[in-house]
Structure 1
Amino acid sequence: MARRAWRGAALVATVSVAGLLGGCANTLSGTPKAEHPDVSKVAGLDITTGESGPIPGVPDATLPVENGDGGEMDRLALNALADVEKYWTEAMPANFKGKPFEPVKRLVSYDSTGEGVQICRTSTAGVANAFYCSLDDSIAWDRGDLLPMLNDSFGPMSVVTVLAHETGHAVQYKLGAESGITQGTATIIKEQQADCYAGNFFRWIAEGKSEHFRLSTGPGLNQVLATMFFIRDAAGTSAEKQGAHGSAFDRVAAFQFGFSADPARCARIDEAEIKERITQQTFSPDDQDKGQIAVAERKNLDVLESSLRDAYKQTGAAPPAFKEGADSCPDAKTTSPAAYCPSTNQVSLNLEELTKIGAVPKRGQKGGIGDFAAFAEIASRFTLSIQKATGYPLDGPAAGLRTACLTGAWAGTTTKSTSKLRLSAGDLDEAVAELLADKSLIAADVNGDVVPSGFARVEAFRDGFFDGGNGVCTRKYS
């Protein structure tokens, strides 16, 4: 049984199974100097767990707005736009040869559930959206449906995320040629740049420079990244489609580039980069299941196990056995929905919990994430066996990040035409969603202790996916 074909030929070439562990089945002497990221930090900032959201007691911004109602959503939007305007007033000249930032000329609030207003040559009736319009240099937002939904689902910082993204488009327009954007530039490039510019702004908030907002780099930043999963393109949307914004995997990557670097990095996102790293693909014509198969069916678990064995066979490690149901383990805690026991070299599976995670996701409803999320949970426990066999410790934050990286490396091998388990459209987004879950095992050590930073979890997984064949997982996360 084979899952759907992956159509990203450039990605297939990026992962070499032989290099997944960088040759660490042999002696470790003479290995390259490790990059060793500080697991207590996020892109150089301390991991914090304090409050995120509006700062209490701060006066609301007084930016002029058309058609506003003075309600909570408009106040939140205007506070966000006032701060992002302040950020770009400082950041644009500092990063683009002194070029000044001119504030957006029009700010327009509307209620998509009510009577429409004309903005950017279109009526807003029924348009649950937020957007930048270069025709009149305006930013508009739906206070009736979109913003309340985001606020209720992900908290107020999700609203800030969306408006920071739209301001990113304004930045492109105001930079002109320095942004590398022209009338013929593909939408996906514009959107990836805007996500990156949003990341720049959120770094500024995390550094404590915002007047109206605060952001913890632990749970707070995790929620911002989770927003990207919600506002991603639907699985199967082509990256070449007009209006494509990107998959969650790709949007989170662009945001992280911005959070970790300066705006000049974002302006360098171009067609060449997009072709190299964008993972968003359409479903193959023969994919009748739209990328979803039953996680608990024996034949599917057998294919998963076979793909994992193939991915790591050149390490020389004895693969673990799969067992249904929990078992006590003398040298590790029993975790769910999957567990690894070092002394028995066995991966035990809680099929009921795995089935819940692997259920077909439905927009707007709590429940499953999708089959690849469940498979990645199992794969993470499998990688612990490989780490044990090659002499790496199985507990602690470094083990959690190494596990995420090696799971990403396995995911990379499923892009190959020879893989028995094939990556399908939307699968990487499912992995991102599961990575950001509070108790996800994908970035957890053998005892289930999760790396607190979702940012670091996703980054490690992405390192493995794109560069696992070059031994990055053990070089960087040792």
Structure 2
Amino acid sequence: MAVAAALAVAVIAGCGQAVPGQPRAAGAVDAGTAGGLPIDNSAPTGPREGVADAELAVENADSGEMDRLAVNVVADLYDYWNERMPADFDGQKFEPIARLASYDSAGKPVELCGTSTKGLVNAFYCGADDSIAWDRGKLLPMLDKQFGPMSVVAVLAHEMGHAVQFRLGEKSNINQATPTIVKEQQADCYAGGFFRYVAEGKAKHFTMNTGTGLNQALATMFFIRDPAGLSAKEQGAHGLAFDRVFAFQEGFTEGPKRCARMDVPEIEGRIAAQERSVSDQDVSGEADITDPDIFGLFEESLTSAFQGTEAELPSITKDGASCGGSAGTPPVSYCPDTNTVAADIPELVKIASPPKRGEEPGVDGNGIGDFAAFAEIVSRYALAVQKGVGAPLEGEKAGLRTACLVGAWAQLRVDKTPDEGDGGLHIAVGDLDEAVAELLQDNSLIAADVTGKQVPSGFARVEAFRIGYFEGDDGCARAFSA
């Protein structure tokens, strides 16, 4: 959250200002499903046991664990695209990649796509020679260690998405003039389509459940997001986590045809200018939740956002998260009997600390960011608003409605900059990524009911927040009415 003339998070008049772009259709979010598939944690996630490794020709391979993992991914991607490309794109056959290559970025360099692999911690598709290459030395082991083998699947499925674009051309709305961000959003979308194939049990070498497994795949999008401040118009821009998770979810839910429809007008309308930095914006944007002036502005933003709801707005206390004799939902609770939001500021400070680059947010004491901490308070405040209008406070729909209202509070007016308008709080670059990170935590409070019970599907949590962000409280009312 940015501290400019005042500081960070958009104050929304009436909580109903719409932002250009198209989220999932209102009413389509189901707490018990992910893109229509039931949430089920019973299936394992990762390589299938008892299945022989695929055999594909790979240049410079060492036949080690990472190369075997990558080859199995590519083989399953071949199966998927051999099925989907002719089915979705007028019978066009999928042609295998002309060249697969492995390298060690810390070892003896080789030249791929006209570039030395020395220090190249990456995986990439090269259209010049129709090749896919991966760094078996550092990138793949790092992903595998931190997020598990399905993160390697996600990265290579994304690169295969670029190969699919290259083959489809105009059928995928792609030509030489297409901005990088459009290509990258499509590739994330195509990867999402493949992950549905895996989740449906169709992949030969991999399996994934739709609960924790899919949540972890979405978390990978956070790790490989663009750094805050990189313009979507810059060469090489892939998108913030908020952007990338959306594209992945679209592919998972609707399949390759939806991905091919992504074009410049859609991307420009959906990726708001305020998600990106301009020369005079504060990119780091971390606000001190203990600062009385900042907290005062935060409280003003809540009043401004929700005063039109006719609900009796709650007071906020800062001396612990308990509700009388009840433990509440630490680090912040809504206490219906007293209409109070009780916050444990020291614990929220831990959440508000910025995540370490290259480490998973919210794990082993790692922070998430100031927006996540403020948003957790907003989630409990939103429960008071729901109580005031007679909506149930318990159950999965209450959790989704809460996440949606947090998104509505955070909603950004695209014609605003931090030094214009209400002079209060404005979203800083990367704040929406912090929301995604919090929503994918096992203990997410943004998408929890009054008892702290989380919506089981991280997929649905993110979608609910997005509906609020794009459509305001009207969208929340349509999607999650009591």
TM-score (norm 2): 0.91
Aligned to 1:94: 87
Report whether the alignment pairs 1:3 with 2:6: no
Aligned to 1:352: 346
Equivalence map 1:43-192=2 (5 Å):
43-50=35-42, 51-192=44-185
Aligned to 2:23: none
Aligned to 2:405: 406
* Structure 2 residues without counterparts, runs of 5 or longer: 19-25
Contact 2:198–2:207 (CA under 8 A) maintained in structure 1: yes
Report whether the alignment pairs 1:442 with 2:446: yes
SS at match of 1:384: helix
Between 351-360 and 288-297, report the one with greater CA deviation.
Answer: 288-297
Report whether the alignment pairs 1:303 with 2:300: no
Total equivalences in the alignment: 460
Deviations 1:281-320 (A, max 9, x none): 4334444572111122222211111101101111121211
CA distance in structure 2 between the aligned counterparts of 1:174 and 1:18, rounded to whole angstroms: 44
Shift of 1:54: 0.6
CA distance in structure 2 between the aligned counterparts of 1:83 and 1:47, rounded to whole angstroms: 23
CA distance in structure 2 between the aligned counterparts of 1:432 and 1:327, rounded to whole angstroms: 23
CA distance in structure 2 between the aligned counterparts of 1:143 and 1:238, rounded to whole angstroms: 30
CA distance in structure 2 between the aligned counterparts of 1:19 and 1:420, rounded to whole angstroms: 17
Report whether the alignment pairs 1:279 with 2:272: yes
- Which residue identity lines up with residue 260 of structure 2 in the other structure? A
CA distance in structure 1 between the aligned counterparts of 2:37 and 2:467, rounded to whole angstroms: 20
Deviations 1:194-249 (A, max 9, x none): 00000000011111101111111110000000000000000011001100000000
Contact 1:5–1:423 (CA under 8 A) maintained in structure 2: no
Aligned to 2:22: none
Question: Given the alignment, which residue of 196, 199, 202 partners 1:206?
Answer: 199
Aligned to 1:31: none
Q: For the structure 1 residues 286 and 19, does the alpha-carbon distance in structure 2 shift closer, same or farther, using more than 3 Å as the test?
A: closer
Shift of 1:329: 2.9
TM-score (norm 1): 0.92
CA distance in structure 1 between the aligned counterparts of 2:294 and 2:142, rounded to whole angstroms: 37
Question: Given the alignment, which residue of 321, 333, 343 partners 1:339?
Answer: 333
Contact 2:2–2:285 (CA under 8 A) maintained in structure 1: no
Report whether the alignment pairs 1:474 with 2:477: yes
CA distance in structure 1 between the aligned counterparts of 2:203 and 2:45, rounded to whole angstroms: 12
CA distance in structure 1 between the aligned counterparts of 2:35 and 2:325, rounded to whole angstroms: 33
SS at match of 2:124: strand
CA distance in structure 2 between the aligned counterparts of 1:467 and 1:333, rounded to whole angstroms: 34
CA distance in structure 2 between the aligned counterparts of 1:36 and 1:81, rounded to whole angstroms: 32
Aligned to 1:265: 258
Contact 2:188–2:248 (CA under 8 A) maintained in structure 1: yes
Q: For the structure 1 residues 323 and 79, does the alpha-carbon distance in structure 2 shift closer, same or farther, using more than 3 Å as the test?
A: same
CA distance in structure 2 between the aligned counterparts of 1:40 and 1:430, rounded to whole angstroms: 24
CA distance in structure 2 between the aligned counterparts of 1:431 and 1:2, rounded to whole angstroms: 15
Aligned to 1:418: 422
- Which residue identity lines up with residue 422 of structure 1 in the other structure? H
Between 320-329 and 101-110, report the one with greater CA deviation.
Answer: 320-329
Equivalence map 1:207-222=2 (5 Å):
207-222=200-215
Q: Percent identity?
A: 57
Deviations 1:12-37 (A, max 9, x none): 99x7636489xxxxxxxxxxxx8364
Deviations 1:391-424 (A, max 9, x none): 1000111000000000000000576542611001
